[in-house]
Every structure is written in C-alpha cells, then in structure tokens.
Chain A
Amino acid sequence: AQSVAQPEDQVNVAEGNPLTVKCTYSVSGNPYLFWYVQYPNRGLQFLLKYITGDNLVKGSYGFEAEFNKSQTSFHLKKPSALVSDSALYFCAVRDMNRDDKIIFGKGTRLHILP
C-alpha cells in the first residue's frame, strides 16, 4: 500500500527566505505525486504534480517541487517566501499501477514570519 511521510509538523521561515517542505513516499509501483495547500476553513487547493518527465516541476504561486526517485522524495520549495504562503501543506501520492485513490500525508504547517 502506498504511504506518504511529512516529517515536520511545522516549518518556520522568515519572509524573503527560501523555503522547503519535506515529503517522502512509498509505493509498490510508479508514483504520481501531488502537493496541495489548505488555508484556514477552506478546502484543499492543488499546487503542482509530478507525473513523468523533468524531475523539477513548477506550480502555482511560485512553488516548485523536485522528484528524487532514489531518495523517494518530493520536497516542495519556493525561492522567496511570502507571509501569504502561511498555510497547511499536504503531500500526496497515487500508485499509478494499482489504485485511483490519492493518499495524503499528515500535513506540514508553514509559518512565514514577517
């Protein structure tokens, strides 16, 4: 069965600094990988995904993520954080060879300090 690990409950970054939110995954087949963001009292919004091709994928709001097959990681990054980036971030995985469900990590709260 697939699983996702987000090792950090919270990440604090000063505004203007680069940010990284970590994610590792486990699937038996090939992964499709996703990042979602959730603002308070809102639903989940899609940020970006890795399907195939370039390991570095770019998404909404200046975010990007790097797929690393050998480390089974898909860390979310942004070169310069904004206060408005403060939210709950979820990494998710789908096993393309087995299931149609997407499994989410437990989430990482990103706090950008002004």
Chain B
Amino acid sequence: DAGVIQSPRHEVTEMGQEVTLRCKPISGHDYLFWYRQTMMRGLELLIYFNNNVPIDDSGMPEDRFSAKMPNASFSTLKIQPSEPRDSAVYFCASSFWSQPQHFGDGTRLSIL
C-alpha cells in the first residue's frame, strides 16, 4: 500500500497566483480530509469528504479556497488568488469510517 500521496511536496509561488494541491487517498478509504498546519493554530481541519461528497467545509478560510473530489482516488485543494498568509503545510489524510487517519507527507506552501 503506497499510503496517502500528496503533490507537490513543496510549492513556492508569488502572491496572486493560483495554487493547486493534489491528494490520492488510500484505496478503500471513504473519508478524505484536508488540514492546514500553522504555528499559531496547530493542525486545523479545512474540509472533509465522505464518499466523495463534501460534508463540512466550515474550516475553509474564505472564498479563495476551494476543494473537489471528482472520484474516490483523487482530490484537489485550490487557492486562487494566493496570499502570503496562506503559507503553511497542507496535509491530506484518509480513513475508513472512524478508523485511524493516514496522513500524506504534506505540501509545504510558500507564497511570496
């Protein structure tokens, strides 16, 4: 099992650019989560999906953030336009029901 796969591992881009983060969950998992890690707020949940359907997006900071899960094996988190305060590590995780969540290696995002 390859685990949860995130890409890219690192992204450096200029303010105003569109950023797309990608995630491939573990096959058979029915939940997918997007988290953001910052020094100030720790690990915060942005949005999660159950069976490809967004269930709770109350953690998404603002309209500049959007997430999709077109099928069971792929999800994207998009920021448009990006701002310096979006700089953080973004984690994707997947699980089956309320079993332990498996985290990807994260995407370290820097917005200049």
- Our verdict on whether A and B bind, yes or no, reads no
Q: Which residues of A contact B (CB under 8 A)?
A: none
Q: Which residues of B contact A (CB under 8 A)?
A: none
